[in-house]
């Protein structure tokens, strides 16, 4: 049930913020700004220093927030995946598919969302239990790829990351994606220490998501 509940939380968030950071403090504050602004899905990437500690601290900070969903990103191997899961990561995201990471996530009943660029990669990922497949980079494959995939694989749950912004987010959902990943367009100001702008960006993304959902 844990895995199903997490997947439902991820889909409900609608937007997953891809949080990086040159320092532990920057990444943590960027994640907090996103959650406080209404973007409750956080992919804390392992390119950030002490990523596992940040995940653990965010989990503690938002333990009473039923909508907050904290996961780990840029997970390249099963060792990193296990470190993330032990820190409390609710889902694992990778830029590419790795079957050993998939098997570990299955063992712990943690959703695994690997980056894929071809139908073959997506089919392989799904055969290893990936409930949501990340299309990455979305800016390269484009929205038409979602339509093309949905023809032979109508049951595929897709999350585009890279190339998603406030202006085109509705188009991705119209193509049939279940959730979108937002990176620099959302959290970019954190690099300059402007966490208030990150919060404002998150509010704008949340408001746009509510509008999209209201249209059905």
Catalytic residues: 43, 134
- 71: which DSSP letter? E
Q: Where are the alpha helices (DSSP H) in the chain?
A: 2-13, 24-36, 51-61, 78-87, 99-108, 119-127, 138-141, 143-150, 169-175, 184-187, 195-214
Q: What are phi and psi of 140, to 5 degrees?
A: -90, -50
């Amino acid at each position: 049930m844990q895995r199903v509940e997490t997947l439902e939380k991820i889909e409900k968030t609608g937007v997953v913020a891809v949080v990086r950071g040159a320092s532990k403090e920057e990444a943590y504050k960027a994640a907090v700004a996103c959650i406080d602004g209404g973007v409750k899905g956080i992919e804390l990437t392992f390119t950030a220093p002490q990523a596992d500690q940040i995940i653990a601290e965010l989990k503690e900070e938002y333990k009473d927030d039923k909508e907050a969903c904290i996961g780990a990103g840029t997970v390249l191997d099963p060792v990193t995946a296990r470190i993330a899961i032990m820190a409390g990561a609710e889902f694992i995201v990778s830029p590419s598919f790795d079957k050993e990471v998939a098997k570990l996530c299955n063992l712990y009943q943690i959703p695994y969302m690997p980056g894929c660029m071809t139908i073959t990669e997506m089919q392989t990922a799904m055969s290893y239990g990936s409930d949501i497949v990340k299309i990455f980079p979305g800016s390269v494959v484009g929205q038409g790829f979602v339509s093309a995939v949905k023809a032979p694989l109508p049951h595929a749950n897709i999350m585009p990351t890279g190339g998603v912004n406030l202006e085109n987010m509705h188009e991705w959902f119209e193509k049939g994606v279940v959730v979108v990943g937002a990176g620099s367009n959302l959290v970019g100001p954190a690099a300059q220490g402007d966490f208030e702008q990150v919060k404002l960006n998150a509010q704008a993304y949340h408001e746009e998501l509510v509008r999209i959902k209201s249209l059905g």
